[in-house]
Structure formats: C-alpha cells, structure tokens
Structure 1
Amino acid sequence: MTSSAAERQSFGPRLAAAMRRAGPLCVGIDPHPGLLADWGLDDTAAGIERFSRTVVEASTDRDGTSLAAALKPQVALYERHGAAGFAVLERTLQDAHDAGILTIADAKRGDIGSTMQGYASAWLEDGSPLAADALTLSPFLGYESLRPAIDLARNTGRGVFILALTSNPEGASVQHALGEGQVSVAADIVRRAAADNRIDLDTTDAADAAASAGKGAVLGTVGLVVGATIPDTARRLSIDLAASGAALLAPGYGAQGATTERMRLGFDTAWPQVLVNSSRGILTAGPEVEALRTRIRLTTEDITG
C-alpha cells in the first residue's frame, strides 16, 4: 500500500533526496518488442511483466539499497497490450514503491477541463491503482490546461514533468515559436513552471530540504522535460533553467548520443537539477539482473564522475 498524502513529503524534496542518495539517474522501463526479443521474451503481457519486474529488481542492490533515483515506465508500451498491459503497469509501479524507488509514469497526458481532471485522478490521486510519484504532461493545449494535474500533484505530495524543450526534430516548430509578448513557447512554459515552484519553495518542506541538503538542488512540484542532446538550446532561447526550481528530466543520454560532458556544458548552472534518463543504454545489458545492476552502477559513475 502507498502512504497517504498526509504522511508524504512534497515531491521536490523527495526527488532531491533520492538524487543525493542514489545519484541523478532515472532508469527508463521501455519494453519495446525488439528488447523483449533480445531478452528471449514474448511480446505479451507476461513478457513485459517479466521484463519490468527484472528492471525493478536490478535497480536495487542485494541489500535493498536503491541504485537509481527514479524509474520511468513508458506507458505506451504497456497500453498496447490493453487491460492486461495496464495490469502489468500497476504491478510494476507497486513493485517500485515497495523497493523504495520513485516512479515517473511517462504518459505525456494533456487535455482540458474534466478530461484533464480524469487523467490527473488516474495517475496522481491516492487510491488509484495507477498512481505514480510523478507524471509527464504535454502543455501544448496551454499551460493552464494542466492545472488540475499540477494542483492534485501538489496536494498529494506528487510531481509532474512538463514537456518544455524536446529533442525530436518536429518539436522546434512549436517550442521555439514566438508567442505572447514575443517570448518563445518553451520560455513561457519554463516561466510558468517557475511561478508554480515558487509556491512550493516557500513551504516548510522546501526550507527544511534546503537546510539539510548541503549540496544539490531544492526542487518544486513542477519538473520539466529537456532533451539531453539539446540543453544549450535553452541558452539560445534566453531561458534560465537554473532559476526554474524544476527538476529537469533529460532523456537522450547514451544510446541517443548525449554524453556527460555535453550535458554538463549545456545545462551549465542548472546541472544539479538534472535527472538523467537512460533506457536502452541500460536495458540492452539484460536480461540478467547482475548485468543490469553493473550497467546501472557504471552509468551513475559516468554521470557523477
């Protein structure tokens, strides 16, 4: 069973503590058909369950110590198996919770009104079988359309990660475009996220986290997704990521070409806020648990070295 909102610390301090403790690595759980085949597994609900539970097991050491700050299951790859796939996802989220590792449901939800409220309830509300510690969101129906999810996340001690600067070639046509006040869409998203996080950073939780952290970032409820291969784009668009108070989920490390050196240079003063996601770069080491653990340790050493 998950803890109640009344017992749960705010998401930002929880993530910051996990990053200090285990390192700033998020392991993606992406049961692609090709990876399943490489692991000798069938492309079925049973196959993705074996795959997912193996990744969760490998993300903790034999003594139960977490080897990653977070796990990020790719929801689409469960959804393609229908109800049976969602049942596997529910068990995967629970396994991660039982192992003491934060979860980010990579669902990229975005809608308006009661529909957005429905998505928020499904992924962020206590008692929901799909409740994760955080949820990825798409803001391109307008940042405020995400308000039901942002507010529910804050109220339940969970978080959200909002797409801001993605590395797919199509993203620039929207994210770099100038909107109201001749500010890029991406800059406006980051500005609004920073305003939400200032609410969190005035709370006792955040003050306590800042006092005890010693090093690392103090983070709010609203994180941002920024591609690991394009962090310098923020500078070119006059976006101050360091001032956002946001955890920066950075997919693209390893198999997609981002290196630690390039990320450090690109994110610059925002580097302490970066949660580096690696999926294929780790998952190709499977299916043996110890091989996956070794790859996770080496990845963390490379990121933090």
Structure 2
Amino acid sequence: MNSRHSQYDVTNTVKVTDSQAVCNAVCDIFHSCYLAADDSRIRQAFEDFDSLFEGHYNGFNACDTFYHDKQHTLDMTLALARLIDGHERQSDRVHTFGAKLTSLAIITALFHDSGYIRKTDDQKFYNGAQYTPIHVSRSATFLTNYLHMIGLPEFADIAANMVHYTGYEVSPDQIKLPDEKLHLLGYMLGTADLIAQMSDRCYLEKCKERLFPEFELGGMTSTQDKDGKSIIIFESADDLLAKTPTFYNSEVKNRLNNLFQQVYKYAEAHFGDDNLYIKYLNKNISHIESLIETNKLDTLHRLPPENPGTSRFLNSH
C-alpha cells in the first residue's frame, strides 16, 4: 500500500487505465453478489465504452477531454460496484438490488460522462470540455439511445434521470425515479463519482493540470451577476487548488453525508476494514491544506498516467 501506483485503484491491485482489468474486477464483484447471473450485458457495455472513448463508436469522436478521461470513468465504475457489493452483503433478499438493477447501474456509470464526447458532425465546439455545463444532460441522451439499442428500453428513462446524480444540472432532490431502490443506486452513482476522483493518487495534479483547462474551455472559471458584470470564480489553476478544501468541506461533504445519505459507508462492508476511498480522499485534502498553509502549491510533483485525449486535442490544433 505504501507504493501505490498512479494508474491503479485505491487497493493498488486493479489497473484503472485498463478497461479489461476493470471489467474483470467488476464482473467478479457482480458474481460474488449474484452467483449465476449473466454478465454479458456488462461486458458488452465495457466494450462499447472502450469504443466510444477511443473513437470507434459510430457517429462520435474519441474522448478529447483532459480530466474526464477513461481512467476516471473506470475508477468510478469500480467504486460503484464496490458500494453495491457492500450494500448487498448487508441486505436481506427483499432489499437487495438484484442482478438486473445492478447491471443497469454499472452501465449508467460507464456512460455517465459520455456527454463530454463530441459527435463527428459537431460544428459548434472543438473540445468536449466546452459541453461541461450540459454534459450530464447529453449523457442522459446517450444512455437513452444506448439502452434502446441493447434491448432495455424499459430502463431508458430511469438511467437518463439517475445519471443526474453525478452532476449539478438537476438538484438531487428534484430527480424523479419510480422507487427508493433506484434513488439509492443514484446516491451510489453520485458518491462513486466523487470518492473515486478525489481519492485518485494524482487528484491534486489532475486538478491543476487537467481540470482547470477543462473549466476554462467550459466557461466555468467565471460567471455573471444579475447586472451582467463578470465575476471570477477561479483566477488560475493554483486558485482552483487553493479553493479545493473549501469545495470539499462545503459542497462535497454535504453531498456525501446529506444528499447521498452516507452510502460511502458501504465501501467498508466491501473491504471488510478501512474505507480506502475515504482514507485516500482525506489524505489528498490534508496534503493540499498543508501546501496552501506553507505556500508550496508549486511542489506538486506526481505524474498522472498519460491521457490520450490531451494529445488528440493538441494534434488537432
């Protein structure tokens, strides 16, 4: 655990830059929950996810965003599977999600950021990050079409609503789903999205080098007041880093503990001990607080795994 690698998950055992490795880990968890269940839809979804992000999916370009890349989605999907596993271990038969809803949640996780990916005929924008303000709605549209395509039309509207737990376009208390089980899966989606990225070994470096440029492209570094006057939200990448502890202590903690009802605790039942996601998340927050206090933001030195989207963007411009 002391030599955790940047391309691996919080257990340092699953390479979250490798779709097949994550697919196998997720399917292992799936079968530990539902012994004889068919995992073919999950495996197909991983293949389709790979095709989409690599630029082999009909009608879509490859992923070209810097921060919201394949690693993030794979890490998040693995975290979701672990939360679901923790829940299933503690539930009686009446309250389990079951194989079908779990498959749906995993599919939703895999495509929760599909809205960043531009269509091949896109004449409006030159990078997916420019869709940041509406990327979740675009992901909902993709999921609707995808679930119809794979023969699960009855879940299309559910996934399209559930995916909004990963974003800010719709307030969590306004998301409409048929029953509490689906809301609970939604809380897990939103939670997995947060704890996976914030426990990433290179989270702080990625915020500085990758998230800030995305925010610039997406128009998220400033806003306007009611009089049309510009208000700066983040002056620079260092400013974004300096505001990360406040973001965590106000927004993220409220989501994890209140809006998402502390479902992150299910990770403890999965791991059987520490909640490794919260452990490494807290390490990252403590580290950035220390760097801010000592004015050493320029000492961040970890090298995140290569993101093909960055080179794709640079090559096209």
Same fold (TM over 0.5): no
Structure with bigger strand share is 1
- TM-score for both structures, normalised by structure 1: 0.32
Structure with bigger helix share is 2
Q: Rg larger in 1 or in 2?
A: 2
- TM-score for both structures, normalised by structure 2: 0.31
